[in-house]
Amino acid sequence: MRTVVGAAGLALMAFGALMVWDQSTHWDVLIWLAGAVVLHDGVIAPLVVGVGFLVGGLKYRGLVRGALLAAGCLTLVALPVLLRPLPTANSSVLPLDYVRGLLISLAAVAVLAVLLGAGRWAWGRVGRADDPESR
């Protein structure tokens, strides 16, 4: 069964590769495919490792990690609408103020994270006060 699934995967890959090869621009496609790996392995991954190195030891590590993950992904998704060059001649494409939209989203993430952190800190104090062992 596993072999059949694996072979099916190889067949689909071959089908896709043939369709890529059918394009007159197949070398450009290959360059962009390789570029996608370079973008992840060469830019995103080292950045993430660096950030992880900086915040990994913090007390509310899980919370900080979740907030940074959400904020980072929001920024990634916003990059195309923020960076697209040339205004479009169509008023219904990119109609919003995306700098404002991103700032509001990031602020919402930050506020939620701080509230959650404060809630946990308060809960921890109450928990210790109620627990005779910790006195």
Please tell me the number of Cα atoms within 13 Å of 12 on its side-chain side: 6
Applying the rule CB under 8 A, the residues between 3 and 42 that interact with another protein are 3, 5-6, 8-17, 19-20, 22-23, 25, 28-29, 32-34, 36-37, 39-41
Verify binding: residue 73, another protein, rule CB under 8 A: yes
Verify binding: residue 85, another protein, rule CB under 8 A: yes
CB 109 within 8 A of CB 71: yes
Which contacts of 9-16 are long-range, i.e. CB under 8 A and separated by 24 or more positions? none
CA 33 to chain centre: 19
Phi-psi group of 94: left, alpha or beta (phi > 0 → left; psi -120 to 50 → alpha; rest → beta): left
Verify binding: residue 120, another protein, rule CB under 8 A: no
**From 59, 80, 115, 129, residue interacting with another protein (rule: CB under 8 A):** 80
Verify binding: residue 74, another protein, rule CB under 8 A: yes
Verify binding: residue 132, another protein, rule CB under 8 A: no
9 or 119, CB closer to another protein? 9
Mark 52-71 with x for binding to another protein (rule: CB under 8 A) and - for no binding.
Answer: xx-xxx---xxxxxxxxxx-
Q: What share of the chain is helix, strand, coil (3-state, %, to 5)?
A: 80, 0, 20
**Residue 44: CB partners within 8 Å, gap ≥ 6?**
none
Verify binding: residue 117, another protein, rule CB under 8 A: no
Instruction: Output the smallest distance, CB 135 to another protein, in A.
Output: 25
